[in-house]
């Protein structure tokens, strides 16, 4: 393992037939196990088989997103997505045998109750009738992703992808900003018909999945797919209302101050990214410079983060430069056979690049630690609502090192980043509520759904104005949010975890050593506990409690409102 690099990893198409046959044998052996030690060896064997399978599938998936025009990996990814659902019954049969084992108490004593809680969620979210639906879903989400990845936007004499054109949202010339947003909007408008059709089909498919599992629609399944075991729709709706009452007024103040700062009477959408009249903070060097400064920063933060960043660089586990054909996304995944995270993104020479180096690497650091602390692969990754605390908190822990990345503009970076962390939250809860509306009301027409998004903008983002941009002004902005298509009900996690990140910010001011130890504990525990249990373990508050949003945002709000940039 010590000598591998991602670029030289050998990929072989997984032998799914062999995997199925192995698991058929394992089921019988589990049922016949006469002692716990024998059962434990069978669990380890199953883990090795699944790790090998997952590693191969992940290599193919990463290489497909690195170049969506590569037909070999496109076909491999399609084959895997079509075949994985067909072997799920074998995995679930194995899980059922383990859950019914007379040694269940021994397993729970060694691995905790979350071990069976996860398996129960897997059981509740799968049935064989959903296999063809899962295959159709994968095909549609891949199509959406390819449309995004192959975007070719003509702008300022260049052909840009979606990440490339967004750089101009910060341009000093207001007309250039306006034109860049229009070019971005026009791309989605030109693809509106097919994007409408894909979303319509996904709603139908996913709601049928829910019905096949005994639910009225997809919503309960979506929650379970996110690993949620100790809260539901009611708690999330109450949280959204806290955001509306506590954060929306604050965001209106921040944007009103920004309009005054940059000298415009009315802040338009194409002005929102232009935070300062003399220009936003920009990286002090090129892509390689940013990675090198990140390496230095992680060595300063802690011994653990220093070891981690060296591992990532040595094994080529980051692909961050913007290139034609790359998927228009950013993510962290992992290769279990190598206990290795992998980070994917597209730099665009804005403060976004720093967010990649902290957010996605925050995910990766948590995975790196869990893979070295947790005894089983099931605990290498946590529920998605915990995962985003790792990433967003690392963004906050990086603030003292901003000078290395932005030089004299470090204070600009910190202010703009913190403002965006807060102003993002209303958008995030709107994305969540939009999905609830769509799945609960499948009879809505495509244009009616877009009108619903417009209502949500008025509810959660009353400052948002598109300057008579027909497509965005009538509600078309939601089409750009890939999570709606690819990762249903994921997006609320970013808003919930913003509360955790802001709480870590507050704790870091009070006592850095204590805050960092709590963060390290959070990363090490992986997925071994439920959401609320993990929060308690890391000494973090429950975001669903009344007043939690106001308390979590207290320090960040004071920092922004007292900033010289607000005068």
Residue 145 forms part of a structural domain: no
Residue 475 — left, alpha, or beta (φ > 0 → left; ψ -120 to 50 → alpha)? left
Q: Of the given ranges (128-142, 283-297, 333-347, 461-475), which has the lowest mean pLDDT? A: 461-475
Last residue of a domain, one of 96, 124, 152: 124
- pLDDT tens per residue across span 140-166: 999 999 999 899 999 999 999 998 999
For the cut 90, the answer to whether the pLDDT of residue 355 exceeds it is: no
* Token pair recorded at residue 357: 């180096």
- pLDDT tens per residue across span 528-541: 999 999 999 999 99
Q: Are the C-beta atoms of residues 504 and 519 closer than 8 Å to each other?
A: yes
Q: Residue 564: is it exposed, middle or buried by C-beta count within 10 angstroms (0-12/13-18/19+)? A: exposed
- pLDDT tens per residue across span 374-404: 999 999 999 889 999 999 999 999 999 999 9
User: What's the average model confidence in pLDDT over 428-433?
Assistant: 98
- pLDDT tens per residue across span 293-314: 999 999 999 999 999 999 999 9
Residue 383 forms part of a structural domain: yes
Q: Can you spell out the DSSP letters for 35-101?
A: SHHHHHHHHHHHHHHHHHHHHHHHHHHHHHHH-TT-HHHHHHHHHHHHHHHHHHHHHHHHHHHHHTS
Residue 316 forms part of a structural domain: yes
User: What's the average model confidence in pLDDT over 456-462?
Assistant: 98
Residue 334 has φ and ψ, to the nearest 5°, of -145, 155
Percent of the chain exceeding pLDDT 90 equals 94
Residue 156 forms part of a structural domain: no
DSSP letter assigned to residue 173: S
- pLDDT tens per residue across span 39-49: 999 999 999 99
Q: Compute the mean pLDDT over every residue in the chain, rounded to the nearest whole number.
A: 95
Percent of the chain exceeding pLDDT 70 equals 99
Q: What CA–CA distance (Å, rounded) separates 200 from 185?
A: 21
Last residue of a domain, one of 97, 124, 151: 124
CATH number at residue 300: 1.10.1370.30
Supply the range of the domain harboring residue 344.
287-419+492-566
Instruction: Please tell me the predicted confidence (pLDDT) of residue 1.
Output: 53
Q: What CA–CA distance (Å, rounded) separates 516 from 518?
A: 5
Residue 402 forms part of a structural domain: yes
Residue 273 forms part of a structural domain: no
User: What's the average model confidence in pLDDT over 431-451?
Assistant: 98
- pLDDT tens per residue across span 214-264: 999 999 999 999 999 899 999 999 999 999 999 999 999 999 999 999 999
Instruction: Identify the band that residue 197 occupies on the pLDDT scale cut at 50, 70 and 90.
Output: very high
Q: Can you spell out the DSSP letters for 407-455?
A: GGGHHHHHHHHHHHHHHHHHHHHHHHHHHHHHHH-TT--HHHHHHHHHH
Instruction: Identify the band that residue 179 occupies on the pLDDT scale cut at 50, 70 and 90.
Output: very high
Q: How many domains does the chain have?
A: 2
Among candidate residues 291, 289, 268, the one with its CA nearest the CA of residue 361: 291
Instruction: Please tell me the predicted confidence (pLDDT) of residue 2.
Output: 62
- The pTM score is 0.91
User: What's the average model confidence in pLDDT over 505-517?
Assistant: 95
For the cut 80, the answer to whether the pLDDT of residue 469 exceeds it is: no
Q: Are the C-beta atoms of residues 427 and 460 closer than 8 Å to each other?
A: yes
| CA angle, 526 then 523 then 328, to 5° | 85
Residue 151 forms part of a structural domain: no
Residue 439 has φ and ψ, to the nearest 5°, of -75, -30
Residue 442 forms part of a structural domain: no
Last residue of a domain, one of 78, 97, 124: 124
């Amino acid at each position: 393992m010590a000598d591998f690099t991602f670029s030289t990893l050998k990929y072989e198409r997984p032998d799914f037939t062999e995997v199925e046959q192995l698991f058929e044998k394992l089921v019988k052996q589990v049922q016949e196990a006469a002692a716990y030690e024998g059962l434990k060896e069978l669990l380890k064997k199953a883990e090795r088989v699944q790790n090998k399978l997952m590693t191969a599938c992940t290599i193919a998936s990463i290489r497909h997103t690195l170049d969506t025009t590569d037909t070999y990996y496109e076909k491999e990814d399609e084959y895997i997505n079509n075949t994985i659902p067909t072997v799920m019954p074998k995995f679930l049969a194995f899980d059922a045998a383990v859950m019914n084992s007379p040694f269940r108490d021994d397993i729970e004593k060694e691995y905790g109750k979350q071990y069976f809680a996860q398996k129960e969620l897997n059981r509740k979210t799968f049935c064989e009738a959903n296999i063809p639906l899962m295959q159709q879903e994968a095909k549609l989400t891949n199509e959406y992703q390819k449309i995004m990845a192959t975007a070719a936007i003509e702008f300022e004499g260049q052909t840009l992808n979606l990440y490339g054109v967004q750089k101009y949202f910060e341009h000093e010339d207001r007309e250039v900003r306006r034109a860049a947003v229009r070019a971005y909007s026009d791309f989605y408008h030109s693809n509106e018909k097919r994007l409408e059709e894909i979303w319509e089909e996904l709603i139908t498919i996913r709601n049928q999945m829910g019905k096949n599992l005994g639910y009225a629609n997809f919503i309960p399944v979506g929650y379970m797919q996110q690993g949620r075991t100790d809260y539901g729709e009611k708690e999330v709706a109450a949280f959204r209302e806290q955001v509306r009452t506590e954060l929306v007024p604050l965001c209106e103040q921040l944007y009103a101050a920004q309009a005054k700062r940059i000298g415009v009477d009315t802040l338009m959408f194409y002005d929102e990214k232009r935070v300062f009249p003399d220009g936003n903070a920009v990286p002090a060097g090129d892509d390689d410079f940013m990675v090198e400064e990140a390496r230095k920063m992680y060595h300063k933060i802690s011994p653990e983060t220093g070891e981690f960043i060296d591992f990532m660089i040595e094994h080529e586990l980051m692909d961050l430069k913007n290139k034609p054909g790359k998927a228009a996304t950013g993510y962290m995944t992992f290769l279990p056979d190598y206990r290795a995270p992998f980070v994917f993104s597209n730099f665009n020479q804005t403060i976004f690049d720093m967010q990649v180096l902290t957010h996605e690497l925050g995910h990766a650091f948590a995975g790196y630690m869990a893979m070295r602390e947790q005894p089983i692969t099931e605990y290498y990754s946590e529920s998605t609502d915990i995962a985003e605390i790792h990433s967003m908190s690392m963004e906050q822990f990086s603030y003292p090192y901003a000078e290395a990345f932005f030089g004299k503009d470090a204070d600009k970076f910190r202010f703009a980043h913190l403002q965006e962390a807060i102003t993002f939250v209303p958008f995030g809860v709107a994305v969540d509520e939009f999905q609830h509306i769509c799945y609960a009301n499948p009879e809505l027409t495509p244009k009616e759904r877009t009108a619903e998004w417009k209502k949500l903008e008025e509810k959660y983002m009353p400052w948002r104005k598109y300057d008579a941009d027909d497509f965005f002004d009538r509600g078309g902005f939601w089409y750009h949010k890939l999570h709606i298509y690819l990762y249903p009900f994921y997006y609320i996690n970013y808003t919930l975890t913003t509360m955790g990140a802001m709480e870590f910010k507050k704790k870091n001011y009070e006592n850095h050593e204590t805050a960092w130890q709590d963060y390290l504990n959070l990363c090490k525990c992986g997925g071994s506990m439920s959401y609320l249990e993990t929060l308690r373990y890391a000494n973090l508050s429950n975001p669903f409690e009344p007043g939690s949003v106001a308390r979590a945002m207290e320090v960040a709000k004071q920092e922004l409102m007292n900033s010289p940039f607000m005068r």
